[in-house]
Chains A and B, each alone.
Chain A
Amino acid sequence: MTQTDTRVGPATAGPAPGPARPFWTTRRRDHLAGYLFITPQLLGSVVFVILPLILVVWYSLHEWNVLAGTFDFVGTDNYQALVDDPNLGAVLRATGLFSVGLVVFNLGLALLLAVLLNQKLRGTILFRTLFFSPVVVSLVAWTIVWGFLLQDNGGLNSLLDTVGVDGPNWLRGEGTAMLSVIVVQVFKNVGLNMVLFLAALQGVPADLYEAAEVDGASRLRQFWRITVPLISPTILLTSIITVVGSLQVFAQIAVLTQGGPGTSTTVLVYYLYQQAFQFHHFGYGATLSIVLFAIVLALTVLQWQMRKRWVFHES
């Protein structure tokens, strides 16, 4: 409210009329600078996040035939189609399987690697680099190479052949296709979680372990009673990142299995892509993306709420 006073001109002169204060006060300049600084980010968010989000809701209420160029309002028809969709059950099952598999394998392996690499041993830096390097490799290139390794006459089965094992056709078997996709994804990103865990492990004060040792606690007990509680904020963070990431998996499926065999690896994002971009059901695709959005949102909120119960040390 102070700004209104600044326009007091000489006409309403008081006893000591000072010169009119300039419009660009320091305060205003600061505000302007602030807004200018956030404008690029804000514009980006609005154009590429908020606007598309609103549009997706709008599209989900329409039947959009790209080829015919028609865009008809159909109300909740697409949501009804969602309820009636015979494939949706299998798709959600595949999505759940992938997410659970990925989170368990990824966090388990990342934590194991981090604990091993946290020891004062020779060569840990080399191994740390080795495990982290897939994170910086292009996702598609990584997946294509794995596609060659996993094909029937590929690298993995040739390797198994040398030890007398007749390997399965990894990407074509109902049971092995999903496992293969999960493993490819785990190896791709385990390094990132490993580094986060490693940083958390190194933040655990050494005197706690010393005290535990004096009290006669075993290494395993120390791990469960000291390490896990102290790194629980990192466990929460990595699990949120991994769960959300797992629900968005697309390139690996598109490159390795195209959702097959059958529909065993057709996860929600891939199904959404098929419906919208291959079958030209853009309205239904938008509806599926709202389902995906709701699932991601619900899981994130749930995990965030749960932090009160299982994150013991949050700074």
Chain B
Amino acid sequence: MRAGKALRGIAVALAGALALTACGGGGESADSGPAKLRMTVWSANEAHLKLFNEIADEYRKSHPDVAEITFDPLPFDNYTTTLTTQIAGGNAPDLAWVFENSAPDFVASGALAPLDDTLKKAEGYQYEDLSPATLKLWQNDGKLYGYPFSTSPFGVFVNTDMVKKAGQKTPAELIAAGQWTWDNALATAAAAGAKSGKAGLVIRDFDYKGWDNLSTFWTGWGAQAWSEDGKTCGFNSPEMVDAMTTLHKATFTQKALPGPGTTADFFAGDSAMTITQISRASLLKDGGFGWDLVPLPAGPKGNYAVVGQAGLGVMKKSPYAKQAADFLAFFTNPTNSAKLAQFFPPPRQSQLTAETLAKTNPKLKPEQLQKVVIDGITNGVVKPSHAGQAELSQQVRAGLDPLWQPNADVKAVLDGVCAKIQPLLAK
């Protein structure tokens, strides 16, 4: 009798637990009143969020069916992991920013809703104005699954005070003399770093882990992480070996770059130069130090540009997918796109002019915008991306680790990287 009772008790407890979990996992139902939209973003920048909220408030005035639009900043470092965990946990957002390196996964998996129809039908949207080159990464079978709200070229920010103090020509002077090459850039960085006791050149967000940021370097040698079709490893190509040998020497012999495990923030005045996207210009403080923004130096293969992209998509599973797509169309229409352009270079050709961009980028001069932004977007190579990028990325990181030792055998390490990732690429 007693055992029976105990069992019954446990059964009741289990039933209660199941009821509880059922409540938790059910999510909101679509037909219960006006929509509440949530967009995950990786920027917690107040100015960014203020602008997003202004656009959202304006949208809600004319759309009573949307009660609330929230922008949910997730940490930059774990953004994609956090986002996919939210999706797995049944707590997916309605709209989400997507990094270019996870674009192939998101676009091909069917997680995002197609946007073409909504965007083309939206009043005054001017869909044809979107530069086809910027859309490529976000399309699958002719359908658009993400709007590349930011196509941001990489440039070199220079602390001109530090460069001048080291008695070096500034990058602007080198450009004028036609001498803005990697050899000279590294020499300048090494000299400025040595003179100031700070770092020379920092490839931002690389930190000897985020290796895809090195594409801003090796593209100058004509190297690629993998072939165009994504099936063949490019790490042990002669171009890549040359590029990485130069980088290795610059780091460990020339000391132009800070070594592994050393943190230096250009925007805090810790380094003479940094390679990053122009959207980071917002981190520059007025009156901090003299600075300039210049295009990437020429490599052995001449001038080149690299762009990073960020897309905005609608989660297909969202109960409010329709409203979310409609809001996306409003968020990125010509008027709002022009507003967003102050932080994120837009994919709209009509807005990619030095004049338009200058209005909203007070910190950048017209020639900086023309040389770095507009030319960059037009000619730039997008950072490497591939389906299953997270796993590939981890394998490449682990494979490259032995390279970051002073006496590394560059070719052998790069052969090792290819041995690790070739099976994944061939899948």
Contacts and interface: CB of A to CB of B under 8 A. Distances in A.
A144 B316 CA distance: 38
Contacts, number: 92
A277 interface: yes
B268 interface: no
Nearest to A260: B401
Given A42-B13, A172-B260, A279-B388, A69 B111 contact: yes
A46 B14 contact: yes
Contacts of B13: 39, 42-43, 46
A303 interface: no
B396 to A, nearest CB: 12
A261 interface: yes
B255 to A, nearest CB: 12
A66 B109 CA distance: 9
A274 interface: yes
Contacts of A259: 394, 398
Contact size range, A: 35 or more
B398 A47 contact: no
Given A67-B105, A152-B260, A262 B402 contact: yes
Contacts of A197: none
A282 interface: yes
**Chain B contact residues: over half helix, strand or loop, or mixed?**
helix
Nearest to A154: B261
A154 B261 CA distance: 9
A25 interface: no
Contacts of A67: 84, 87, 105-106, 109-111
Nearest to B85: A277
A65 B81 CA distance: 14
**Chain A contact residues: over half helix, strand or loop, or mixed?**
loop
Given A69-B111, A169-B261, A172-B404, A43 B16 contact: yes
Nearest to A34: B9
B4 to A, nearest CB: 12
B391 interface: yes
A67 B262 CA distance: 36
Nearest to B420: A86
A278 interface: yes
Contacts of B262: 151-153
A280 B390 contact: yes
A65 B398 contact: no
A130 interface: no
A312 interface: no
Contact size range, B: 35 or more
Contact of B261 (A3, A46, A152): A152
A68 B398 contact: no
A43 B259 contact: no
A160 to B, nearest CB: 15
Contacts of A260: 209, 397-398, 401
Nearest to A2: B1
Interface in B250-268: 259-263
Nearest to B109: A67
A279 B263 contact: no
Contact of A277 (B84, B105, B111): B84
Interface string B389-412: 011001001110110100000000
Contacts of A169: 259-261
Listed residue (A39, A69, A171, A258) with the most chain B CB atoms within 10 angstroms of its CB: A69
Given A35-B9, A66-B84, A67-B84, A47 B260 contact: no
Contacts of A170: 261
Interface in A45-81: 46-47, 51, 64-69
A278 B260 contact: no
Interface of B: 1, 5, 9-10, 13-14, 16-17, 20-21, 81, 84-85, 87-88, 105-106, 109-111, 208-209, 259-263, 316-317, 388, 390-391, 394, 397-399, 401-402, 404
18 contacts: A43-B13, A51-B17, A67-B84, A67-B105, A67-B111, A69-B111, A151-B261, A151-B262, A152-B262, A169-B261, A172-B261, A261-B404, A262-B401, A263-B398, A277-B85, A278-B394, A279-B388, A279-B390
Given A172-B260, A174-B402, 6 more contacts: A43-B13, A43-B20, A152-B261, A172-B404, A258-B397, A278-B390
